[in-house]
Structure 1
Amino acid sequence: MGCHDNCKFEHKRAGGGTKARYLKHIIAREGAVFVCLQETKAVQFSDARCYSLWGDNKAGWVHYEGDNGGGSLLSLWHTDAFIYDSHIMGKGFIAVSGQHVKANYFNAVRSPGERKGTKERGSQLSEIREFNRFIDANLLIELPFVGKSFTWFSSNGKAKSRLDRILVSEEWMQVWPSCKQYVQRREVFDHCALVVKSVDKDWGPKPFRTIDAWLVEKGFMEMVKDRWNAYVVQGSSFTKVKDKLKRLKGDLKIWNKDIFGNLESTKKRILQEIEDYVCQDCNDNLLVCDRMKRFELVGQRKEVDNKLESLMRQKSRVSWLKNGDSCTKFFYSSLKWRRSRNQVKGVEVGGLWCEEPSTVRAEARRWFDNRFRATRDLRVRLDAVEFKSLSLQDNLRLIEGFSETEVRDAM
């Protein structure tokens, strides 16, 4: 999904011709699917007004009027790309649920460092705890930030906060795992717009990794040994190992697809077969041999469950959980959070953000080259340093054996 297929941004105060033109420009530029506006200062909205902001009549919308326009909120979406299901709203929030998005409005931060230049309130830490508890309770994930660390700035520039953020569900991350939220330039608003994009870049071949579940599969180790011994390669010892590993990688991919199989599909097939036998048993049509097959299928299902848990445990690197814990949702959350946190999103070159793999690689290499380049001026010289050393007599005393008198004195 590119940025033209699904984008979402959050901004404040839709009133005024200049601001309306800016909103129409960013909606058209990003090909937005879902738009969230805060503090619109409008008590009422109409189809004509929403269609004007959107650029055509393919827009659905929900408006919360607030207190005579104060705290008013507006959500708009592309009716061809977002299927509306339902919504709830109240003071300070609109939650719209549909096929892709659940959007919420917040005026809170997740840590004290996300507010600068404002007076600390006694309730601020309590507010932070409640906001983080809300995120955890709803199993929401915050998308990685690209750009400025703050999204709101006061008119005098003394205060700043990170009040705007995009939170998504685990189901969203399954469909668009590479989504990020990009902080736009501050132009006519006191808030910076946020644009959600899922930009897939080709970073070249991925490193090969073994799966722990392979090691307990029957016949796996024998297959690896047979293939390894069958490879005939030429060259130095290092070259032979490299070429054998390359060939083994290709054979393991084929084995994983044809023999090991897709664990989720295998589990569904086993459960369906068990269900068929259960239905026959309910009608008293199950033979003795079928009962044995059902018993074997139950054992196979347990094996597949253990393999799935091992796979999720390995990906999420949660090694302290005991075997048998089936909290796969926790594994999945850990996996997605670690991937989004550790992912190299891009680099800033000459003040411009760049995500092209070739540029990122070149900039990373340049940085490490400068970091570890040695110069003559920085080398440590020990020419004039005199170190204390043991004399020949001291050395002989250290290596000579213990006398009986010395042993008795020590005891």
Structure 2
Amino acid sequence: MVKDLKNKHKLDMVGLIETKKQIVTRFEVARIWGQDGFGWKYVPSDSASGGLLLIWNDLVFKMNNCYKGERWLCVEGEELSYIADLCQVPCCFLGDFNEIVQEEERKCATSLTRSAEDFKNWIQDMNLVDMPLTDRKFTWFRGRFCSRIDRVLLSLEWLEEFPESRLRGGPRGLSDHCPIIVEDRKLSVGPRPFRSLDSWFTHKGFFRMVKEEWRGLGDKPFTDKLRALQVPLGRWHKDNFGEMDKKIAKFEEEIKRIDDKVSNGEYDETMKARRKALVTCCERWYVRKEVHWKQMSRSRHAKDIDKNTRYFHNIASARRWNNRICALVINGRRVRNLARIKITIREFYKELYHQEGSPMVGFRDGLVEKIDEQATVTLEELPSVEEIREAVWDCESSKAPGCDRYNMNFIKRCWG
């Protein structure tokens, strides 16, 4: 399915369903599709078993040939990858693909078939994200055989528009397939943690603000001052970088308004200077947005900023979506309650790194050689400023921030 969000209507491209009907009429297809301008082909069922119906939007997909068999239906036309790239709108491919992409998706499977490898390669070529099914392992059951062959594949544009999309399974009932349901439900993940942003350095007043706040913190230890600095930095970010897209849209609208006046014959030096100033401000915000999303994506594929904001934004959205923990197996049971998941994770690492007491270690005579006095002094000597600087500057600037939520770029540029 392809959905045109700007025009607020569906552009469904292709739909394949199992009918279990011997005869399918155009009236029935129109009721399923819900709008005019569709093409369709079908294969009748064998009694109450099977039956295939393929429907497509005539405005989007053009059929070249159709091939049928007793239990299969194939329509030849334009490639989905070409259509999806041409439309440049969010895409969602869902249904029974009759293939797995991982060995664990089929019970007792030890390898992937050639067709499964081809399907897996198609997903990668289309840059689709395979939504995880969090509340069950398999979607198809027949006797003691079970597989996960029903799935939802989302484009990066879809995740950008619907970042809170989730997939869950419904009750199987009398069918051999479990229905799959896509929801756009916002998860409550708690307050957003602080992190330093590289885009702050594009603002002229940033260094001045940091120096003033740093002096105001007095003689506190360095780490305490970094922690205390998070509050004014968060406030400054909200005042100066909040609602970035709205600010860009406002500048673009002002530029368009001037262009409309020029089109109607109005033009003077004041208008020329006004448009130049607006373009300069708009370009500055474009750069800030590019720097921000490049950092969020943590991508190394583009070394320099070159108007790849959409690319970085899509990578960041996919990374955030793939890293999300929607369910966790706790004591053999799958739990989806986010509050309980947080508590369990916190308790796990608290127990993992907890130590009741220091072990008593004894050394036998001759097991460890005694070091000389000069080596002892060297071991206890504090590192010099040059050594600390060399170690810090040797770190990658764009790496993810540490436990203090500041990345190395912030340290280098503020205290370089």
Normalising by the smaller structure, the TM-score range is: 0.5 to 0.7
> 1:210-221 counterparts in 2 under 5 A?
210-221=196-207
Describe the shift of the 1:85–1:348 C-alpha distance in structure 2 as closer, same or farther (beyond 3 A).
farther
Quote the sequence identity (%): 23
Which residue, 178, 181, 188 being the options, matches 1:202?
188
Kindly provide the amino acid, as one letter, of the partner of residue 66 in structure 1: Y
**Are the counterparts in 2 of residues 63 and 73 from structure 1 also a CA contact under 8 Å?**
no
**Are the counterparts in 2 of residues 63 and 72 from structure 1 also a CA contact under 8 Å?**
no
Kindly provide the amino acid, as one letter, of the partner of residue 44 in structure 2: N
2:155 is the counterpart of 1:164 = no
User: In structure 2, what is the Cα distance between the partners aligned to 1:230 and 1:381?
Assistant: 47
Residue 122 (structure 1) shift: 4.4
Aligned residue number for residue 143 of structure 2: 155
Describe the shift of the 1:375–1:324 C-alpha distance in structure 2 as closer, same or farther (beyond 3 A).
closer
Aligned residue number for residue 404 of structure 1: none
The residue matched to 1:353 in structure 2 has which SS? strand
Aligned residue number for residue 244 of structure 1: 228
**Are the counterparts in 2 of residues 141 and 170 from structure 1 also a CA contact under 8 Å?**
yes
2:119 is the counterpart of 1:143 = no
Kindly provide the amino acid, as one letter, of the partner of residue 302 in structure 2: L
Aligned residue number for residue 306 of structure 2: 325
> 1:93-172 counterparts in 2 under 5 A?
102-105=92-95, 106-111=97-102, 114-115=105-106, 117=108, 121-133=113-125, 135-136=126-127, 140-157=128-145, 160-172=146-158
**Are the counterparts in 2 of residues 143 and 167 from structure 1 also a CA contact under 8 Å?**
yes
Describe the shift of the 1:310–1:238 C-alpha distance in structure 2 as closer, same or farther (beyond 3 A).
closer
**Are the counterparts in 1 of residues 156 and 318 from structure 2 also a CA contact under 8 Å?**
no
Residue 382 (structure 1) shift: 5.2
**Are the counterparts in 2 of residues 151 and 163 from structure 1 also a CA contact under 8 Å?**
yes
The residue matched to 2:312 in structure 1 has which SS? helix
Deviations 1:285-312 (A, max 9, x none): 3223332333333333322221111111
Which residue, 279, 285, 292 being the options, matches 1:298?
279
User: In structure 2, what is the Cα distance between the partners aligned to 1:284 and 1:169?
Assistant: 44
User: In structure 1, what is the Cα distance between the partners aligned to 2:292 and 2:144?
Assistant: 52
Residue 270 (structure 1) shift: 2.5
User: In structure 1, what is the Cα distance between the partners aligned to 2:137 and 2:270?
Assistant: 65
Unaligned runs of 5+ in 2: 1-14, 67-72, 376-416
Describe the shift of the 1:186–1:223 C-alpha distance in structure 2 as closer, same or farther (beyond 3 A).
same
**Whose Rg is larger?**
1
User: In structure 1, what is the Cα distance between the partners aligned to 2:371 and 2:273?
Assistant: 83
What TM-score, normalized by structure 2, do the two folds share? 0.62
Describe the shift of the 1:152–1:384 C-alpha distance in structure 2 as closer, same or farther (beyond 3 A).
farther
Computed over aligned residues only, the root mean square deviation of the Cα atoms, in angstroms, reads 4.5
Kindly provide the amino acid, as one letter, of the partner of residue 312 in structure 1: W
Describe the shift of the 1:47–1:352 C-alpha distance in structure 2 as closer, same or farther (beyond 3 A).
farther
**Are the counterparts in 1 of residues 42 and 54 from structure 2 also a CA contact under 8 Å?**
no
User: In structure 2, what is the Cα distance between the partners aligned to 1:152 and 1:205?
Assistant: 39
Describe the shift of the 1:246–1:291 C-alpha distance in structure 2 as closer, same or farther (beyond 3 A).
closer
Deviations 1:197-219 (A, max 9, x none): 34434333221223222112111
User: In structure 1, what is the Cα distance between the partners aligned to 2:51 and 2:204?
Assistant: 63
2:38 is the counterpart of 1:67 = no
Unaligned runs of 5+ in 1: 1-35, 51-56, 76-83, 396-411
The count of residues paired between Structure 1 and Structure 2 equals 329
